[in-house]
Amino acid sequence: MSNKIRVRFAPSPTGYLHIGGVRTALFNYLFARKQGGAFVLRIEDTDTERSTEESIRAILDGMEWLGLDYDEEPVRQSSRNELYQEHIDRLLAEGKAYPCYCSKEELEERRKEALKEGRDPRYDGRCRGGVDPVPGREPAIRFKAPHTGTTVVHDLIRGPIEFDNSQMDDLIIRRSLGMQTYNLCVVVDDALMGMTHIIRGDDHLTNTPKQILLYEALGFKPPRYAHVPMILGSDKTRLSKRHGATSIMAYKEMGYLPEAMLNYLARLGWGCGDEEIFSLEELIEKFSLEGINKSPAVFNPEKLLWLNHHYIKNGDPKRLARLFHEMLVEKGVLDVPLGEDRQGYLEEVVKCQQEKRKTLVEMVEESTYFFRDEIEIDEKAGKKVLKAAARPILEKLKAKLSAQKAFTEEALETVFREIMEEEELKLGKIAQPLRVALTGGTVSPGIFELVSILGKETVLSRIDRAIDYMESRPDQS
């Protein structure tokens, strides 16, 4: 086998793809790409009760959305039964594993009792020395773990960590129902798939010595380990739904860009001097396991939002227009997708919004007036801005703009300057009423951009409607 680096991301398909999982996937990916090694995906679905096809789909979708491409076909543990069994048979034959006839219920009972009496809730080893088969009962298979000596995990992030083997439990490697368990499968797979480095969450740290022991019993050389610290919520407990969205796809739905997600997650627990902004390419170039921090990191939605804004602000309008379009349909602002001929329009809207909107969803919500025939004038905005004094301004605007052929920003600016001079008004006095007439609210892109993008026909008809609105609703002041 070659000595090339090989790493894997090994999620269990028992729910959506969690952002913590995404970060460990990212670290594995970056490490592999940086080292010119392979990054593979392995679905750990040995728990048939909890694994679902839907969850597998979610994992694949998430990886695709983020652009974390893996090498080779994903491996599914559920299809590698015989392989695991062979190794269990070998352990059995060599006396390194043994059948255990204790039932699940009995074990549970003993655990509770031990806990109650303040003893360690570990397996008492009653079948370890060999027992007669219990008729009508399928045994589970346990690993006969050594109980003396120590096992050292040489962690690439934390250094050597020593575990006393007397703490080691005889873990079950095959269920009585037949399916093998996690610790056995991970070891067999990682060994046979030639994994050189295991980069995973530090919630796995304490079962690493068990796995090393299993490697040794099986005659395999253990890989190198790097346990990355967990992501915590604002209250410093493990990040969960209580802290807000934790599904990666929920962020897609909220209008986040994959590059913002990747950048944020990479910086969470990893740093490179004073830099904050990293493209995927830069991350690959600069990533190192040594740069990963030892302490857990609190997930900070504000900073993620800032990064997302950064990427929207600086993103390619063409690409953004495509994502924006999808979101417009998603959010029901558009009943049917716009045709090819409207791509330019979409892009114009994106260009005038990208600097001020932090998510695609926000961009959609603040751009509805670009896509509706009828706009509704906001109560407060109308009352505040469309007062009697605004009437002549709108009339004047209507007259001037009707006569105006070119609706370029430059030409419009000239028209507005003229009005300003003739009426002796500051731009704000003209722009605000028009803004409300055109958008229904007091907030929008710059007035010249807005008028230019909306176009003559729409602008004139909205001015008319605003005038009607003022007539039907004479103000008191």
Nearest CA among 267, 255, 154, 297 for reference residue 212? 154
**Residues 284-313 within binding reach of RNA (CB under 7 A):** 291, 293-298, 300, 302-303, 305-306, 309, 313
**Closest approach of RNA to the CB of residue 33, in Å:** 21
* Options 128, 204, 322, 351; binder of RNA; rule CB under 7 A: 204
The answer to whether 376 contacts RNA (rule: CB under 7 A) is no
Q: Which two tokens stand for residue 298?
A: 């609190």
Residue 11 or 222 having the CB closest to RNA: 11
The answer to whether 428 contacts RNA (rule: CB under 7 A) is yes
**Residues 29-88 within binding reach of RNA (CB under 7 A):** 44, 46-47, 50, 77
Q: Which two tokens stand for residue 370?
A: 């670009």
**Closest approach of RNA to the CB of residue 340, in Å:** 30
* Binding span for RNA by CB under 7 A among 30-38, 59-67, 175-183, 317-325: 175-183
DSSP letter at 305?
A: H
**Residues 380-409 within binding reach of RNA (CB under 7 A):** none
Residues 104, 112, 241, 303: which is the catalytic one?
241
Supply the DSSP string of 246-259, one letter for each residue. Answer: -BHHHHHHTT--HH
194: left (phi over 0), alpha (psi -120 to 50) or beta: left
Give the C-alpha separation, 192 to 148, whole Å.
28
The answer to whether 172 contacts RNA (rule: CB under 7 A) is yes
Contacts 24+ apart (CB under 8 A), 420-426: 422/396, 423/393, 423/396, 425/393
**Closest approach of RNA to the CB of residue 238, in Å:** 3
* Options 356, 383, 391, 396; binder of RNA; rule CB under 7 A: 356
The answer to whether 379 contacts RNA (rule: CB under 7 A) is no
The answer to whether 432 contacts RNA (rule: CB under 7 A) is yes
Give the C-alpha separation, 158 to 191, whole Å.
23
The answer to whether 263 contacts RNA (rule: CB under 7 A) is no
The answer to whether 202 contacts RNA (rule: CB under 7 A) is yes
CB 48 within 8 A of CB 179: yes
The answer to whether 232 contacts RNA (rule: CB under 7 A) is yes
Residue 161 or 333 having the CB closest to RNA: 161
| Inter-CA distances, 353 with 251, 311, 312, 364, Å | 20, 13, 9, 10
Residue 160 or 474 having the CB closest to RNA: 160
Tokens 């990427």 label which residue?
A: 311
Tokens 């010595």 label which residue?
A: 209
Cβ-based neighbours of 279, under 8 Å, separated by 6 or more: 259, 263
Residue 306 or 469 having the CB closest to RNA: 306
* Options 53, 82, 117, 274; binder of RNA; rule CB under 7 A: 274
Has 429 been annotated as catalytic? no
The two beta strands, 297-298 and 231-232, are parallel
Supply the DSSP string of 209-236, one letter for each residue. Answer: HHHHHHHHHHTPPP-EEEEEPPEE-TTS
Residue 338 or 427 having the CB closest to RNA: 427
The answer to whether 410 contacts RNA (rule: CB under 7 A) is no
CB 278 within 8 A of CB 286: yes
The answer to whether 460 contacts RNA (rule: CB under 7 A) is no
Helices (H) and strands (E) in the chain, counts: 19, 12
Residue 270 or 370 having the CB closest to RNA: 270
Give the C-alpha separation, 447 to 433, whole Å.
11
**Residues 438-457 within binding reach of RNA (CB under 7 A):** 442-448
Neighbouring C-alpha atoms within 13 Å toward the C-beta of 192: 15
Q: Which two tokens stand for residue 464?
A: 């008319």
**Residues 330-349 within binding reach of RNA (CB under 7 A):** none
**Residues 92-111 within binding reach of RNA (CB under 7 A):** 100, 102-104, 107-108, 111
Tokens 């980069």 label which residue?
A: 199
* Options 269, 382, 433, 440; binder of RNA; rule CB under 7 A: 269
**Residues 106-165 within binding reach of RNA (CB under 7 A):** 107-108, 111, 118, 120-123, 140, 158-159, 161-164
Question: Count residues contacting RNA (CB under 7 A)?
Answer: 88
The answer to whether 16 contacts RNA (rule: CB under 7 A) is no
Residue 66 or 232 having the CB closest to RNA: 232
Residue 107 or 338 having the CB closest to RNA: 107
* Options 206, 402, 408, 414; binder of RNA; rule CB under 7 A: 206
* Active-site residue set: 241
